[in-house]
């Protein structure tokens, strides 16, 4: 859940980017944020990722109050968010596999996890065959599909897309939106900033519109224009790609299941050794108690001046 409450952002140079913004986005929603250039869309995204702090008001993301979030907790927050950029931002010297894997390495995923999950997510975006290619060998549409794969690789609760179709032709733009729609339907909240009126019309999702930093429209099933085409978007995969995807999902689940089992076995071994340790300590404590009891018994039978008995006790 994301909530903006009376939020205002004024940059240090005095530019008023957002004024008195109020809205709530529930988990699992798909929301377009539209508005002319300079309306405040990127500022809104930068406030959610804590790249910028509000000048006034409150922003809440799940259990975090972003306006007050300590700097050291920002990396934790960002792990829960997947970002998609207009200019893709892929690392040219890394392959497609490595680009996506890198986002997992950053959060400390194991090699085994990376080996299982990356092919699955590349299958989701229809690029499993291009895993070993470099970004320079991809079309714009394919590069942005890598961007989508990278955004979803750590299974974030929220995906923020800043003009994801801005550099794409209409067909590739539709493919990206269809993918985002699929990911959203699988449970991820999506906020997509865009100028692309035809895609907003097509998708029939909630629309938040900004103008000169103010929220001027919040519509449940919005569109840019009145004439709404009736066409359902879907991301097309070949039969082979779908089979590979099913297999990858199964492999990933099986792997996760085994990983959980191994973790449980490790935990129960740890508990057992803790119990063993405890009973060893208890044995020690008991023998000490026995020793004390024995000494007391001896002491009670012994004359205080009998030095021979004292020596016996010490032995
Ligand atoms: P949009 O993404 O809708 O194009 P922005 O959020 O980028 O809008 O910008 C909103 C307003 O804030 C604009 O007037 C812009 O000039 C200003 N602005 C954005 N970023 C900065 C910044 N870092 N410093 C100063 N002013 C900024």
Q: Is the CB of 39 within 6 Å of ligand 1?
A: yes
Ligand 1 centroid–CA 302 distance in Å is 92
Average pLDDT of the segment spanning 292-309:
60
Q: Is the CB of 40 within 6 Å of ligand 1?
A: yes
Per cent of the chain over pLDDT 70 is 86
Per cent of the chain over pLDDT 90 is 62
Q: What is the pLDDT of residue 313?
A: 43
Q: Is the CB of 119 within 6 Å of ligand 1?
A: no
- 226: pLDDT confidence band, cut at 50, 70 and 90? low
Average pLDDT of the segment spanning 233-246:
83
- 312: pLDDT confidence band, cut at 50, 70 and 90? very low
* pLDDT tens track for 77-101: 999 999 999 999 999 999 999 999 9
21 against 236, higher pLDDT: 21
Q: What is the pLDDT of residue 309?
A: 44
Q: Is the CB of 35 within 6 Å of ligand 1?
A: yes
275 against 132, higher pLDDT: 132
The domains found in the chain, sorted by start residue, are 2-260 (3.40.50.300)
Q: What is the pLDDT of residue 283?
A: 63
200 against 283, higher pLDDT: 200
Residue 291 has pLDDT above 90, yes or no: no
Average pLDDT of the segment spanning 5-30:
97
213 against 239, higher pLDDT: 213
* pLDDT tens track for 19-39: 999 999 999 999 999 999 999
- Cα–Cα distance for residue pair 245/205, rounded to 1 Å: 27
- Cα–Cα distance for residue pair 92/211, rounded to 1 Å: 36
Average pLDDT of the segment spanning 96-123:
94
Which residue from 4, 7, 14, 43 has its CB within 8 A of the most atoms of ligand 1, so it is best to mutate?
Answer: 43
- Cα–Cα distance for residue pair 172/168, rounded to 1 Å: 6
Q: What is the pLDDT of residue 311?
A: 44
In terms of pTM, does the model score above 0.85? no
- 122: pLDDT confidence band, cut at 50, 70 and 90? very high
In terms of DSSP H, where are the helices of 196-304?
197-203, 239-301
Which residue from 8, 11, 37, 216 has its CB within 8 A of the most atoms of ligand 1, so it is best to mutate?
Answer: 11
Angle at 57 between CA 223 and CA 73, to 5 degrees: 95
R_g of the chain computed on alpha carbons: 30
Q: What is the pLDDT of residue 244?
A: 82
Q: Is the CB of 166 within 6 Å of ligand 1?
A: no
- Cα–Cα distance for residue pair 17/144, rounded to 1 Å: 28
């Amino acid at each position: 859940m994301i909530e903006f409450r009376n939020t205002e952002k004024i940059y240090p140079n005095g530019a008023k980017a957002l004024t008195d913004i109020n809205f709530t986005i529930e988990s699992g929603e798909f929301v377009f944020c539209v508005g002319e250039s300079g309306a405040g869309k990127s500022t809104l995204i930068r406030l959610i990722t804590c790249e910028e702090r509000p000048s006034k008001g409150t922003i809440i993301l799940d259990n975090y109050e972003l306006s007050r979030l300590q700097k050291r907790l920002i990396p934790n927050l960002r792990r829960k968010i997947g970002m998609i950029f207009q200019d893709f931002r892929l690392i040219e010297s890394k392959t497609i596999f490595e680009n996506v894997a890198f986002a997992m390495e950053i959060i400390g995923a194991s090699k085994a996890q990376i080996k299982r999950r990356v092919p699955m997510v590349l299958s989701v975006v229809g690029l499993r065959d291009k895993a070993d290619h470099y970004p320079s060998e991809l079309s714009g549409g394919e590069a942005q599909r890598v961007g989508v794969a990278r955004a979803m690789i750590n299974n974030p609760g929220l995906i923020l897309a800043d003009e994801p179709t801005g550099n794409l032709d209409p067909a590739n733009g539709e493919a990206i939106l269809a993918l985002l729609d699929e990911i959203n339907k699988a449970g991820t909240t999506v906020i997509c900033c865009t100028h692309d009126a035809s895609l907003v019309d097509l998708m029939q999702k909630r629309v938040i519109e900004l103008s000169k930093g103010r929220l001027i429209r919040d519509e449940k099933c919005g569109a840019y224009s009145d004439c709404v085409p009736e066409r359902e978007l879907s991301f097309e995969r070949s039969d082979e790609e779908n089979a590979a995807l099913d297999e990858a999902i199964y492999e990933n689940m099986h792997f996760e299941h085994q990983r959980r089992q191994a973790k449980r076995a490790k935990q129960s071994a740890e508990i057992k050794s803790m119990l063993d340790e405890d009973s060893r300590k208890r044995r020690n404590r008991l023998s000490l108690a026995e020793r004390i009891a024995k000494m007391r018994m001896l002491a009670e039978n012994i004359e205080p001046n009998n030095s021979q008995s004292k020596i016996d006790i010490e032995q």
